[in-house]
Amino acid sequence: MSVPATGDIQFVPPGGAKLTVDSVTDPGGAPADVLDVDLGFTVSGTVTLPNWLAGTATVCIWADEQGGAIDKALSPCATITLTPSTTEPNPKVYHWTINFGGSVLPDPSSGSQIYHLLAKFMYEGQATDIAGFADMGLYLIN
């Protein structure tokens, strides 16, 4: 498990824009890298951006089953409303949380049930190049 995980967000001028995954939790408790899909799980973190940026951004969690057929964005994604500010702090930190209810992935799965997870940030859809990801590592999700 690689959480907390941080990745740079492509931005011009570069520097300071970050996507961070702070935690992955499920009601089943330890170990943290084994998630019970029936109980659901929660992923939370932050996005750090210049304080003048306005608009809408999303954070989605992608799951790629090792040796299996599943490779998709999990639903739902977090929508972040970016509100500009001319005051400090610059950069500005936005918190996000995604709650995944049971059955977000097949259970039981005929595949490995080992998933490589990553968080993907995108500003204003694909209309801009402001995007980035954070590698969350491997999880057994069953």
Max Cα separation, the chain? 53
Residue-range domains of the chain with CATH:
5-141 (2.60.40.10)
The strand pairing partners of 117, in sequence order, are 63, 137
Burial 91-123 (b: 16+ CB within 10 A, else e): bbebebebebeeebbbeebeeebbbebbbbbbb
Mean pLDDT, 10 residues at a time, the chain of 142 residues = 88 85 91 90 96 94 94 97 87 96 82 94 86 96 89
Give me the amino acid identity at 58: T
The pLDDT of residue 12 is 75
Extract the tokens encoding 142.
């069953």
The pLDDT of residue 1 is 54
The pLDDT of residue 49 is 94
Residue 113 backbone zone (phi > 0: left; psi -120 to 50: alpha; other: beta): left
